[in-house]
Amino acid sequence: MTDIDVSSSSPTERLHALGLELPAVRESTKYENHRTLDSSVYVAGQLPYSDGRLLGKGVLGRNVGLETGRGLARHAALNALAVAADAVGGLDRVRIVQMLVFVASTPEFGDQSKVADAASALLVDLLGENGRHARTAIGVSSLPLNSPVEIQMVCTSRTEA
């Protein structure tokens, strides 16, 4: 990541400074992208899609390398963040509570947390303290559409935004 002063710029400004933009949230006919209960927003699992195309397929430790997995995790986190921002009224209002990172990996692969670290770093770089979160990184044998990663989040709305 680049050195961005999180104290003097908004999450939206930091997003643009990193050359990123939140993708459009696509609706599903089969499930909700998010569900709100009290003050919590539960974001459905997000894959590393871009413009309707899955950016990678495979299993870490077999045919997907660590750095590729980290990049895919960042992208899946960006997609989850887009859903969260849509749910709470904008990126500047998002506070991440928890992130679950599912990594399709071989039994011998033990770096699921390193894959998840890339997504966690993106959230903190964009949201500062509001991006810090509880996290679980889980190795699984497969994910939908043969995606290497899937990310689910729980967030809330910042009241001071």
When divided into structural domains, the chain yields a total of 1
Q: What is the pTM of this model?
A: 0.92
The band of 29, judged by pLDDT with boundaries at 50, 70 and 90, is: confident
List pLDDT tens digits, range 52-61.
999 999 999 9
> Interior CA angle at 98 toward 94 and 100, to 5°?
120
**Residues of the domain holding 133:** 15-21+32-157
Nearest to 158 by CA among 88, 100, 54: 88
Chain centroid to Cα 134, Å, comes to 13
Q: Is residue 6 part of a domain?
A: no
Q: Is residue 98 part of a domain?
A: yes
Q: Is residue 44 part of a domain?
A: yes
Q: Which helix (H) or strand (E) holds 88?
A: helix 66-88
Q: Is residue 26 part of a domain?
A: no
List pLDDT tens digits, range 101-148.
999 999 999 999 999 999 999 999 999 999 999 999 999 999 999 999
Q: Is residue 8 part of a domain?
A: no
Buried b (16+ CB within 10 A) or exposed e, 8-30: eebbeebbeeeebebbebeeeee
Q: Is residue 27 part of a domain?
A: no
CATH number at residue 55: 3.30.1330.40
Asked if 108 and 141 touch (Cβ cutoff 8 Å), the reply is no
> Interior CA angle at 73 toward 141 and 78, to 5°?
135
pLDDT at 159 over 80: no
Q: Is residue 43 part of a domain?
A: yes
Nearest to 123 by CA among 146, 101, 141, 139: 101
pLDDT at 28 over 90: no
Q: Is residue 7 part of a domain?
A: no
At residue 4, the pLDDT reads 59
